[in-house]
Amino acid sequence: MENVNQIKKNLYKLAKVQLGFYPTPCHRLDRLSKRLGVEIYLKREDLSGFTPFGGNKIRKLEYLLGDALEQGCDHVVTFGATQSNHAMQTVAACRKYGLIPILFLNRVVHGDNELRANLLLDNIMGAEIHITDSREESEVAAKIRGQELEAAGHTCYSIPSGGASPVGSTGFVNAFLELSEQLLQNNIKADYLFHATGSGGTLSGLLAGKKVLGASTKIVSVAVGSKDAEYPPKILQLSTDTLKRIGSDIPLTEDDLTIDHGFFLPGYEIPNEESSAAIRLLAETEGILLDPVYTGKAFSGLLHGIQSGEIPKGSTVIFLHTGGSLALFAEKEILGKWLT
């Protein structure tokens, strides 16, 4: 366990803008907990603000835009799929702080360049939008656009997909510290923390926060897309760099990671029956909406853990609701046949 007060001081010194409303709520799912025999709490990052749609990208963007403004940038470039939550939240945050947002988005499903859900909001907020057929094409196009802007005297700040960088991940060190304080105040000991993982920025920050506190809570990261053998080392490096940024040199190993690859098929942004059932269960039991791309798949992983006995009866589980419910209004290929 590190000197937590010193870490908090280090966090306070970092460049940051104000976007979210904190602390985000953490509350018990009363009816579902009773039904399943496990204490389930929801950490509501979907209510983080500052737009009506919230989500986990807000905490990352506070540090990312703080860094961009500190460097004197006037344009922000970022990447994602056409229905990217991260891209939409980046546009909103840029508008709040007077930066010009430029999006390079790649198609994942047929017809996903139609103006609906996140892409519609990107358009309403006046983002410069470029749509390509692959991430590689987006990166090439972004490099060319950046050179054009620099030649015209502008300075661009590039944010990777999902805000997955040591700067962005710092936001989820804060999130873990905040959650731990909420649990302590309410005398709750969390055995597990479940969340969806994609680009890895949230996971890296949560892991860094856990190590700083020396917490025993097991973080279970449910992958929402295919991950190769390079993914765990990438996460460890990102988390290590995040720790260094806040003044910590705690070592990390792959034993610190629990990444579940069992619930993303048939692929990213493609729903499955189990995740759709998980969305319906939470909606019908608690009146809370998940999304088919991220939280639905992660919650199906949590339910499987309970039903299989991997999570023992009487355990206490935190589920990190990372937002994204706008995907319920996206293309039918993203929503799937089980929810319509």
Q: What is the pLDDT of residue 308?
A: 98
Token duo for residue 323: 């937002």
**Confidence at residue 110, expressed as pLDDT on a 0 to 100 scale:** 65
* Domain annotation covers residue 178: yes
Q: Determine, yes or no, domain membership for 329.
A: yes
**Is residue 136, in this structure, part of any structural domain at all?**
yes
In a domain, 97, yes or no: yes
Residue 337's CB is within 10 A of a number of other CB atoms, namely 10
pLDDT of residue 3: 85
| Residues 243 and 304 placed together within one structural domain of the fold | yes
pLDDT per residue as tens digits for the range 253-271:
999 999 999 999 999 989 9
Residues facing residue 80 across a β-bridge? 105
In this prediction, the residues of the chain whose per-residue pLDDT falls under 70 are 1-2, 110-113
> Is 299 in the same domain as 185?
yes
Of the residues 33, 48, 84, 161, only one is catalytic, namely: 84
Q: Are 224 and 256 found together in one domain?
A: yes
Percentage above 70 pLDDT, the chain = 98
Q: What is the tally of structural domains in the chain?
A: 2
To the query of whether residue 84 is one of the catalytic residues in this protein, the response is: yes
- Same domain? For 95 and 150 the reply is yes
Question: Where are any strands of DSSP class E within the chain?
Answer: 26-28, 39-44, 75-81, 100-106, 128-132, 156-159, 192-197, 218-223, 259-260, 316-321
| 149: containing domain | 58-162
Predicted confidence at residue 112, as pLDDT, reads: 60
Last residue of a domain, one of 119, 135, 162: 162
The answer to whether residue 340 is domain-embedded is: no
| 93, part of any domain | yes
Q: What is the pTM of this model?
A: 0.96
- Residue 128 and residue 234 in one domain: no
Domain membership of residue 38 (yes or no) is yes
Q: Which of 110, 159, 162 is nearest to 294 (CA)?
A: 162
Tell me: do 65 and 196 sit in the same domain.
no
175 and 286 in a single domain? The answer is yes
Judge contact between 296 and 321, C-beta under 8 A.
no
Same structural domain, 75 and 139? yes
CATH of the domain at 77: 3.40.50.1100
Examine the domain organization and report whether 134 and 50 are in the same domain.
Answer: no
Residues 65 and 124 in one domain: yes
Final residue before a domain boundary, out of 162, 189, 211: 162
**Angle, vertex CA 302, rays to CA 296 and CA 308, nearest 5:** 130
Digit-coded pLDDT (tens) for 135-189: 999 999 999 999 999 999 999 999 999 999 999 999 999 999 999 999 999 999 9
Report the share of the chain in percent with pLDDT over 90: 93
One domain, residues 182 and 149: no
pLDDT number for residue 105: 97
151 plus 182 within the same structural domain = no
- Could you give the 3-state DSSP secondary structure of residue 75? strand
Domain boundary among 162, 182, 200: 162
